[in-house]
């Protein structure tokens, strides 16, 4: 496969302005500042047009949204881009979409690009949905004949037939994004770039969009997909790029990228996480440990090993009723199970002191993959004195051959029967 996107040493700088506080700003101050800034712009037009800061009453600092980013994307690749808010994902997409220019580095793109970065990007609010389909298609370089050929498919996908001749300024955000995605996906771009904007749509529409992007990828076209929905990234993309603080932290197999991303955001060392003292609370959790059968702390286990989750907590007063809560989630935030110390036994009152409660996760219960454990301490029915979301990562490694690998999250000792239908006898 040929390379369709090549990013080399890409950097983007912005200037952040910090306005100095003035206790009593006056009209004279405002006029003076405006005149002063205008004068400097006339004296230094090149500096002003380049985006460099002008000296004045406000202080500025440099902010590098992207810093020396390099990667390649092959034709037909479906690449997920993940990272925290403010990591530089949207800035990267704007540069790839030719919306903004890089400060340093270069980008080479082969093929027509369709971008969906913000709700209604490229739409004229006064024009109708019908007119905007043709306008958007023309912006993407399509001929009127090509747009007409795809018109019915676009309208059907967007589900806006009743409002086709209504100005889009009267559309809801959901209608906006349905139409925008339908145009971008159906006008046959070689490269489709989609930002988190799909989160605006409802669940059924998101499912529809993911299906369309899968279809686009199978047709040999390239998809770049930015999302915080790791389940969608996992489903759609074979490769993923993790951006952190403007730099590439990981690029490769999606599953490995997601594991690296999740592990980086959770403090963990050898299967033990310790929390600071909180003497002002009635009770608090001091540590969470993942232990094997020999009570050795570790973070990775085989699926055929049992795992002990040990939660140590400090009670700063007497408790008659109390609970330790444990939730286990997949990387996308879906809860696999939730349990408390009350599930299989009555808990006795406790005095002031240090205690631990241990949960045994049986072997062969979970399939391989990373899982997130959240823990809490509280008093029923509603008081929660301490809570740590995604406190620790549990990594389970498989022991099966690739062709025996199961999908999902849970594994049970299912019973199978084999019968010979001709002899009406049980086999094996």
Q: What is the pLDDT of residue 401?
A: 41
Q: Which residues of the chain have pLDDT under 50?
A: 48-50, 56-57, 267-268, 400-403
Q: Does 2.70.50.60 match the CATH number of domain 283-404? A: yes
Round to whole Å and give the CA distance between 258 and 391.
17
Q: 3-state secondary structure string, 163-187?
A: HCCCEHHHCCHHHHHHHHHHHHHHC
Q: Where are the domains of the chain?
A: 65-264, 283-404
CATH topology of domain 65-264: Rossmann fold (3.40.50)
pTM over 0.75: no
As a whole number of angstroms, the distance between CA 302 and CA 306 comes to 8
Which percentage of the chain shows pLDDT scores above 70?
81
pLDDT, one tens digit per residue, over 203-244 is 777 778 878 888 887 888 898 988 877 777 887 888 999 999
Strands 300-302 and 222-226: unpaired
């Amino acid at each position: 496969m040929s390379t369709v996107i090549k990013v080399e040493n890409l950097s983007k700088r912005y200037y952040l302005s910090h306005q100095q506080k003035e206790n009593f700003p006056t009209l004279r101050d405002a006029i003076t500042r405006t005149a002063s800034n205008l004068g400097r712009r006339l004296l230094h037009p090149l500096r002003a047009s380049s985006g460099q800061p002008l000296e004045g009453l406000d202080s500025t600092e440099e902010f590098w949204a992207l810093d020396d980013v390099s990667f390649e994307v092959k034709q037909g690749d479906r690449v997920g881009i993940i990272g925290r808010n403010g990591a530089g994902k949207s800035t990267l997409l704007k540069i790839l979409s030719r919306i903004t220019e890089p400060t340093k580095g270069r980008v080479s793109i082969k093929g027509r690009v369709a971008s969906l970065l913000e709700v209604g990007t490229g739409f004229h609010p006064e024009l109708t949905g019908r007119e905007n389909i043709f306008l958007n298609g023309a912006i993407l370089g399509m001929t009127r004949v090509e747009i007409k050929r795809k018109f019915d498919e676009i309208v059907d996908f967007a589900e806006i037939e009743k409002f086709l001749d209504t100005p889009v300024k009267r559309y809801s955000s959901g209608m906006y994004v349905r139409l925008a995605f339908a145009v971008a996906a159906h006008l046959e771009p070689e490269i489709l770039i989609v930002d988190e904007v799909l989160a605006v749509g409802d669940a059924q529409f998101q499912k529809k969009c993911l299906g369309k992007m899968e279809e686009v990828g199978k047709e040999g076209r390239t998809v770049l997909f930015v999302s915080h929905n790791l389940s969608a990234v996992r489903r759609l993309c074979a490769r993923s790029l993790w951006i952190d603080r403007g730099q590439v932290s990981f690029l490769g197999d999606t599953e490995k990228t997601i594991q690296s991303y999740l592990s980086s955001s959770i403090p963990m060392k050898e299967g033990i996480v310790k929390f600071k003292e909180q003497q002002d609370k009635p009770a608090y959790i001091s540590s969470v440990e993942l232990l094997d059968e020999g009570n050795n702390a570790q973070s990775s286990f085989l699926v055929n090993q049992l795992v002990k989750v040990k939660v140590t907590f400090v009670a700063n007063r007497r408790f008659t009723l109390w609970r330790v809560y444990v939730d286990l989630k997949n990387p996308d935030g879906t809860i696999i199970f939730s349990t408390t110390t009350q599930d299989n036994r009555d808990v006795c009152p406790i005095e002031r002191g240090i205690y631990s409660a241990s949960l045994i996760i049986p072997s062969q219960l979970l399939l391989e993959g990373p899982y997130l454990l959240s823990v809490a301490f509280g008093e029923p029915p509603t008081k929660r004195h301490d809570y740590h979301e995604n406190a620790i990562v549990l990594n389970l490694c498989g022991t099966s051959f690739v062709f025996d690998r199961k999908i999902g999250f849970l594994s049970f000792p299912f019973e199978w029967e084999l019968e010979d239908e001709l002899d009406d006898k049980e086999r094996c």
